[in-house]
Structures are given as structure tokens and as C-alpha cells.
Chain A
Amino acid sequence: MNPSFRRERMRHLTIQVFTIGTVVALLWLVASMVQHRLELMGINTGFGFLSNRAGYDIGESLIPYDGDASYGRALLAGFSNTLKVAVSSIFAALALGLLAAGAMLSGHSTANRIAKFYIKTVRNTPLLLQLFFWFGIFTISLPAIRDRLTLLPGVYLSNRGLNYPTPDLALGLVFLLALAILVFTLIYGARLRSRGAKTRLFSIIGWSIGLGVVPLAATTGIGHLNMPEIGRFAIKGGGVLSPEFMTLFIGLSIYTGTYIAETLRGAVMAVASGQGEAAAALGLTRGQSFRLVVLPQATRIALPSIVSELLNLVKNSSLGVAVGYPDLVSVGNTAMNQTGQAIEMIAIYMLAYVTINVIITKCSQVLEARYEW
């Protein structure tokens, strides 16, 4: 290697090391300054409190939690709730965005106008305001348990949330088994077909076993559904989606759906203008050209923006604190209040959200690589 070039590289490396060192030193200085100030004031510092007993309950959690567990566990429970609402809203927002984009591209002028109205109004008002609105709908406007709405047998909607029956362990396993058989039938059938084998008989057997397992289980009495039952105060048994969860879920999905719809529409328009005509010239039908030519390319164009919208959705889920949903920030704020350790808590929030960011960004990079050609 050319010695002067090597020297240059050495110089760059030195500067970089020096810079990083300076930044770290500055951050450390600021941190120690704050720490010193806090010690003067007699406020505890450090992360030792995470192993102390939390002593407060959390309304809902995906992981087992009760008030005797530690603050660390409480934060984990809050984080599980953040993930729960974020993941479910991501799917709903994608579906809604797809629907609205479809309405705008359908060539149906009324549907187009409705979709545009939805996008304009929802995008231009604060999400927090929308959340307050939905919170009102789910807690004030929905009827009390006594006057609950029965959507399906065993599915109740009231201002205590959406109650639904859940299968017990045995029935749950039966459902999983049935699902596994159906998936196997589909995938293996497709593979057989691609080899040119005749699959009709195979499919019929697979489907009938898969679909037959559940009624069989029901008639022979294997497992049963936990039906919600009306208690004196609350509906017991079965599962429940709390009003706070539904508020956040609906609010986030509707809000983020607008951004996804706009992105998708833009991407499809960008591809469709030239490529659609080319595909038509090749004799593909409109549906074929959309499915095989336009959509794959549009997805690739839209992917980075969609990912960044989904990241925003995750960050916005922290607004749950305003409507009483026990997400990470809400649970953490209680811990912050009881221990007074604001700086440590904020550091934990940052770590959690930056971690989610990194994970989603990595996933999208993998996806993007698949679309590379």
C-alpha cells in the first residue's frame, strides 16, 4: 500500500478515535454532573431499584406478573403490552392502508373521494386528540355491562371491553393440530403440483381431516370453550380486550393507515404508468399485470417509507399513557414516581425503543434484499 495513503488512513483513524473518545467523555461528564447534583439532593441513583419489589398491579400483561414482582419485571410486563399493541396495530394499519390505497386506485370515484377524505382529515389532526376521542367512544359511549352488546354468542362489547370465549388447553391443541394439517396440505400439495403430480385426492383427504378434527373434538367432548360469564361486577372467564387496548389499537391503526395508503398509492402510480402498458402489450390481463408486474415493484419502492411509518407507529404507542393503557411508558412512569429515578427510567425507555427500531430496520433490510434483483 502507498505509504502516504496509509499515513492518511492512520490520521483519519486517530481523529475518529479521538472524536468518539471526546463524545463519550462529554456524555460521561454531563451524566456525572447530574449524578453529583442528585446526590447532593439526596435522590437515589443507579439501576439497583430494578430488583426491588414494585408493589403495584398492572391491568393487563402478556407475561405473568403480580405486585410482588420486581420493578424490572413490571417494566418487562409493560414492554410486553407495548409489543402487543404495536404488533397488532401494525397488521391492522397495513390492512387499512392497503384498503384505502385500493379504493383510491380502483377507479371508483366515490370510493376514491371517501379514501381521500379519510386520509386528509386523519393525517391533519393530532393523534392524541384522536386517541381521546376513541377513549370516549369506548368508555363513555359504549353501554355498561348490564346493557352490553352481544355481537356473537359469547362475544360481548361493553365499556369494560370486548369479551370473547377462549379455548382451553386441550381444545387449543386441537385447533393447532387442525391448522397444522391444513397448512401441510396446502404447502405439500403445491409442491406436488409443481412436480406435475395429480393432487386432487391428496387435497380432499387433507382438507377433510383438517376440517373434521374440530367437530370431532366438539362431539367427543375433548376440551371446551371458556365462555365469558356475567359476574356481579365484571365479565369473568374467556378473554378480554380492554377499552384502553382497543382505544390505542384503533387509534394507531387508523392514523398510521393513512400514511401507508399514501405511500402505496404513490408507489403504484410511479410503476403503473409505463410498466402497466408494457404488460398489457405482452398480453397480460389487468389483474395479472397488477399482480405480477406492478405490485412487486411498487412494494419494493414503498418498503423503506412503510418501514419508517411502522417505526413511527411503535413510537406513537407510547401515547397509551394518556388513555391508561399500561405500556412501557405508563408502567415506567409509575416506577419513576415511586422511586424518583427519572433519568434511569428515561434511559430505559430510550434503550427499549431504539432496540425495537433496530430490530424492525434489520427485518426490513432482509426483506429489501429479497426484492433485490
Chain B
Amino acid sequence: MNGNHTLSLPQKLNVALFGDKIRTIISILLIFIAVFAGPGLINWLLLDATWVGTSEDCRVNGGACWAFLGVKLNLIVFGAYPTAEIWRPMVFMALLTLIAAYAYQRPRSIKQVILCLCVAFIVGLLLMRGGILGLPVVANTRWGGLPITLIVTLAGLGASFPLGILIMLGGASENPLFRIPCRLYVDVIRGIPAITLVFMTFAIVPLLMPQGMMIDKLLRAALGLTFLTAAYFAEALRGALEALPKGQDEAAAALGVGYWKRQRLIILPQVIANSMQPLANIAIAFVKNTSLLIIIGLFDLLGAARSSLFDGDWQGYYRELYLFVGLIYLVICLFLESYVSKLETERSGRISR
């Protein structure tokens, strides 16, 4: 603590890197790793890499084959969607990006953002499907890639959040008829692997339907993830609810405010605001879980990307592919993360004002 500011830069570095025994050991280890693995990594990633070209160029250069991504970009991002119509999912993606940018700029207007998302979602579905304004119909068995991931995410989160709230309220209810099934639901669902639940909705839900009636595969997939996520939402919200002073609810009840009005105006706003961080984590987990839809044969972003590996000419470029697709997921998840922390700073700013 004794006046670091008087030291010169090299001296500062010396303290930071070799200041005590632990730091010295770590520094030496890191230098060793950098010397050992660094050159190979840089060669592969950049120096020997092929940015544009054919599979032949890639084989000759030996480094990363980024050209592969360029050639397969449509397939990776949009799946088997007809190439001539690919502008339609692109417009949809652009719409969502605009809304995301708007939401980030204006963290206070959540209601508008939700409204915009609903509109964009419906417009996007109509656009992708076609059959209006003279657009040819594209059956949803041909949809794939990023749009599927985003559609399932939007629909699933939109459905599972209200469901999670209801389950949470049910679990906190005095009436055991609501409380016991809700608690049981949360515990059981959280106990089983996501993949099992997704497969279960795929295999068993149709058996509960009257014969001849069939829920669309895409919808059923979203349904499985919705059931799963609702349980996690309910659990996160329950934690916040228990932290809330009981007096508030009792005071409102004494004033004669009805149950739903109490929940809507007093309890839920606080519970949601206080559990922002866990809720964001669950939303992020949802985005990541959409990748499980491969298991039931749906071409989400990861599924569509993998289908590009099945080409005799371009074999074995899985590292490039997964790094690229991972980057897309990373951008979406990091956006969610920073949006929520922006919401939180905005809120704490408003309260202290």
C-alpha cells in the first residue's frame, strides 16, 4: 500500500507480476504456457488460416479454414430454408436486433419492448411461413437455424414466465390443494435432466391428445422447455418471495385489497425486481437449452450448423464451426446479461433518487 504511484511502469509491472511468492509462481506458469502453446495457436487461428477460398486452399494452408464458414453461412444460420426466400428470416432477425438495440438504449420502457417483441414475433412467424401478400408458403419443417432458436426462446420464455409465477403463487398458497401439487411439480421437474423432459414431451404428450389431433413438433419442443423453465422460474421467485416482509401483504389484506390485486400491485413487482439476477440466469439457460432440440430432430442453430459438416468436400472443419456457432450463442447470452444488469443499475438509480 505504500505509494505505488511513485513507481515507474516497469516497476509497477514487476510488483504486479512478481510481487510475492504466489504471483511469481503464477507468472512463471503463464509464461511457460504462452511459450509452449501460444505460437501454435496463433498460427492456426490467424497466420496459416484460409479466409476465402476452396477446400483445396484450406488443405494446403493447414490452418483454420474460415472459408468453410463463408461457403456454408446460409446453411449454418438459416438451415434448410429455401435460398431464394432467405431474406424473410433475415428481415425477422433484423427486426429483433432493432428491438434489442432499442431496449438497451431505453431500459425504462420495458412495456413497449415487450409489446414490440410480441408484434415482431407474430410478424416474423407470418413472414417465415408465407401464404400472405403473395409470398409462397414455407412449411415449418424447412425452418432451421438461428430463427428456430430465437422463436423457441421467445415463445418458451413468454409462456414459462407467467406459468412460473402461477406455480410460485400456488406453492406459497395456504390452500394445500394448490400448494402441494405446485411444490411437487417444482421439485420433480428440477430433479430430472432437461433432455429427458424434452424427449418426454415429444413422446408422451401426443398420447394424451385425442387421436388425430396433433400438436406441431416445433410447439411441442417449446412446450418441453417451457415446463422445465417454469419450474426454475418458480423456484427463483419463491426465494425472493420468502425474503419479502410478510407485513406488506397482511397490511394490504387488512385494507381490504383482494388477492390478485395484492399480488399484481404489491408482491410481484418487488419479487421480480429482487430476483432479477437469477431470472436472467434462467433465461440464459433457456437459450442454451434450445440446443437440446437436436435430440428430437429439430434443426435449431446447433442442429443446422452440424448438418453443414455432412459434406464430402469440406470434412473435419468442426473446430471452426463450433467456435463460430459458440460465438453466436455467446453474443446472445452476453447481451441478455448486460441488458439485465443495465435494468438493475437503472432501477437502483431510480430508487435512490
Contacts and interface: CB of A to CB of B under 8 A. Distances in A.
Asked whether the complex places CB atoms of A and B closer than 8 A, the reply is: yes
Interface of A: 12, 15-16, 18-20, 22-23, 30, 33-34, 37-38, 103, 106-111, 114, 120-121, 123-130, 132-133, 136-137, 140-141, 315-316, 318-319, 321-322, 329, 342-343, 346, 349-350, 353-354, 357
Interface stretch (B70-78, B114-122, B133-141, B327-335): B327-335
A92 to B, nearest CB: 19
Given A120-B330, A315-B192, 9 more contacts: A12-B176, A120-B334, A121-B326, A319-B193, A321-B295, A329-B195, A343-B203, A353-B193, A357-B191
Nearest to B334: A124
A126 B180 contact: no
B188 A125 contact: no
A322 B193 CA distance: 14
A34 B193 contact: no
Contacts of A107: 19, 23
Given A19-B180, A109-B16, A342-B203, A129 B325 contact: yes
A121 to B, nearest CB: 6
B318 interface: yes
Nearest to B200: A346
21 contacts: A19-B177, A38-B207, A110-B30, A111-B26, A120-B334, A121-B330, A123-B333, A124-B337, A127-B288, A128-B291, A129-B322, A129-B329, A130-B326, A132-B322, A315-B194, A316-B193, A329-B196, A343-B204, A346-B199, A350-B196, A353-B192
Contacts of A22: 177
A34 B30 contact: no
A263 to B, nearest CB: 12
Nearest to A128: B291
A251 B165 CA distance: 33
Interface in B202-247: 203-204, 207-208
A12 B176 CA distance: 9
A318 B194 CA distance: 9
Interface of B: 16-17, 19, 22-23, 26-27, 30, 175-177, 180-181, 184, 188, 191-196, 199-200, 203-204, 207-208, 284, 288-292, 294-295, 302, 306, 316, 318-319, 322, 325-326, 329-330, 333-334, 337
A136 B203 contact: no
B319 A136 contact: yes
Nearest to A139: B318
6 tightest A-B CB contacts, nearest first = A124-B333, A126-B291, A318-B193, A136-B318, A126-B288, A315-B193
Contacts of A12: 176
A109 B26 CA distance: 10
